[in-house]
Chain A
Amino acid sequence: MSESNATPADETIPVDHAFSCENCGHRWYYTRSRCPNCAKNEVETYKLSHGELVVRTEVSMTPPDVRTPNALGLVRFGDLTLIAQLADDVAEVGSRVTFTGEHRLRDGDEFMGPRLTSV
C-alpha cells in the first residue's frame, strides 16, 4: 500500500493520494500537520483506488481560473470522503469512480492532475 514517506502537511502529494499514519494506521485525505488520531508525525501516502459518488453538484459560477461549469462530487473511498472534480462521463450518484488522466484543475501547471471518472 505504501508508496512514499511524507510529512503530514506535504502539499505536493498528488490529489489521488491519501495519508496513512505509520504509528496507528489511521487514514486521512486532507493534509494535516500530524495524525488526527494519535498526533504522531510519521506518515505514508497511498494511491486511492475506487470510490463511490455520494452526491454531486455542477457549479455554474466559478473562479476565473476554474472551468465553467465545474462538476464536483463528494466521493467515499472506504472510510475516507473527499470532494473532487468529475469527468464528463460521471453522471449518476452511486457510480463507481476512480482518479484518471491529467487535467487542468485550475489554471497553472501546478494544478494539473486527475479527475474522477466512471469505472
Chain B
Amino acid sequence: MTSVTISGVGITQFESAAGRSILELAATAAKRALDDCELSSSNVTSIHVGNALGTRSGLGNALASTLSMEGVRADRVENTSASGASAAHRGVEAVASGESTVALIVGVEKMSHGETSDVTESISQLVHEREYVQGLTLPSFGGLAASAYLDRYDAPRDALATVAVKNHKNAADNPIAQFREQITLEEALESPVVADPLRLYDCCPMSDGAAALVLSSGDGVKVTSIGSATGTHAVADRTDLLEIESVRTAGERTFDRAGLTPRDVDVACIHDAFTILELLELEELGFYDRGTAWEATLNGETQLEGELPVNPGGGLKARGHPLGATGLSQIIELTWQLRGDLPDNRQVPDATTSFAVNVAGFGNNSVCTLLES
C-alpha cells in the first residue's frame, strides 16, 4: 500500500450565512488547498466531495468542471455530520491503493440555504423511525446523555460549561472560526435551555463553509491511519447511553493499525457537537478512564497549554459545524499544528502526533484519523 500524505490544505471562513453559493465555497477551499502545495490541478486524478444535506446534486461533477479538471473521477460521500472525514477516508483509500495518484478532498455545507426549520427537519430525519415519531432530535440525545453523565459521576454542571468556555477561547484566535468572542462560565451556565441540562452554549451552531485537502504520496503530513465504524441506529439500542460504540470501534481500528495508543497523541480534535460529547468521546477512545474526563477538563488538562490540548481551533462548538466540511476542518487544524504553521498563541509546542474523531448523528457512525509530522 502506498503511504498517503496531506500535501495541501485550504479552508473558507466558517459563518452563519455565506454570501457565496455552495459550489463557490467548495471551489474556493479547493483552490486554496492546491495553492498550499506544489501540485497543480493537472496532477489531480480524483475528487471526493463530503456533503451531508445534498442541497445541490451533482456537486462533484460541477466542482470538477469549475476547476477545469474534467476527466477526473469524482464522487460525493454522504455520512451526515461525518461526511467530511468519510470523504477523506475514501480519498486515502484511493491514493493508498494506487487508484488515484493525487486526490482532492472537499467538504462543504451551506446550511443557510433553506429555512432553519427545514434544515432542522432534515437533520432530525437521520434518527431511527421510532425515534422520529417521538420528536427526538440530536440535542434530545445530548440532554439525556448529559443528565445521565452528571448524575452517574456526580459531576458538576460547570464541567460541561468549561468545555464551552475552553473551545470559545481557542476559537477567539482562529481567523476562520464562526464565533471569535470568548464567553464566561456564567454566560454558559445562564444561556437559554435547549435540552435540559444542555444550554445554548453547550450546542454547536449551524454553519456555512468549506474545507479541502490534497492527498498524495509526496511530501507532507503523514496520514498514519484512518478508520470508520457504524454503531446502532437507535441510540436507546445501545448497552449504555454513555457508551458510543462507533467511536470506540473506529478508534481501536485506527490506533491498532498504526501501532499507537492515545498516550502517543499530542493534540486532538474531538467531535463536540455538544459539550457532553467531548467528554464521552475522550473516555470512549481511552484518553481518560470512564467518568473522569470531566475532572480532567476542570483541571485544565484539555486546555491549549494542558497535557492533552483538545479542539485547539475551537471545535464544532465555536469554529462552527458546516456538516460536510467539519471533519476536514479538524484534519486541517491538526495539519497546521503538525507543520508548525500557527502563531505562538495557537500553536501546540512540538506536536508530532495528532488525532481526530468526526461523528455522524449521535454516534451512528464515526471516523477517526491519526496524523504524524
Binding site for B on A (CB under 8 A): 11, 15, 28-31, 54-67, 70, 72, 74, 81-85, 93, 105-106, 111, 113
Contact = CB atoms under 8 A, between A and B. Distances in A.
Contact of B133 (A15, A54, A64, A74): A15
Interface string B261-281: 000000000000000000000
Interface stretch (B98-106, B116-124, B222-230): B116-124
Contacts of A82: 130, 236
Contacts of A83: 131, 134, 136, 140, 144, 235-236
B195 A57 contact: yes
A64 B135 contact: no
Contact of B151 (A55, A59, A81): A55
Which 10 pairs across A and B sit closest by C-beta, in order of nearness?
A57-B143, A66-B135, A30-B234, A59-B195, A55-B148, A81-B236, A58-B196, A83-B236, A60-B193, A64-B117
A55 B194 contact: no
Nearest to A73: B144
Nearest to A59: B195
A74 B232 CA distance: 16
9 contacts: A30-B236, A54-B241, A57-B196, A57-B198, A59-B135, A67-B135, A70-B140, A74-B144, A105-B133
Given A30-B130, A62-B135, A70-B135, A54 B237 contact: no
A113 B130 CA distance: 12
Contacts of A81: 236-237
Nearest to B239: A81
Contacts of B132: 106
Interface of B: 117, 120-121, 124, 128-137, 139-140, 143-144, 146-148, 151, 192-198, 232-237, 241
Contact of A111 (B117, B133, B136): B133
B195 A61 contact: yes
Contacts of A31: 128-130
Nearest to B128: A30
Nearest to A64: B117
Contacts of B237: 28-30, 81
B195 A60 contact: yes
A82 B234 CA distance: 9
A111 B135 CA distance: 10
Contact of A72 (B117, B144, B151): B144
Contacts of B196: 57-60
A34 to B, nearest CB: 14
A84 B134 contact: yes
Contacts of A63: 117, 120-121, 124, 135, 137
Given A30-B233, A83-B144, 20 more contacts: A15-B130, A15-B133, A15-B134, A30-B236, A55-B144, A55-B148, A57-B140, A57-B196, A58-B143, A58-B193, A59-B196, A60-B193, A60-B196, A61-B194, A61-B195, A63-B120, A63-B135, A81-B237, A83-B235, A105-B133
Contacts of B130: 11, 15, 29-31, 82
Contacts of A84: 134
A103 to B, nearest CB: 11
A57 B147 contact: yes
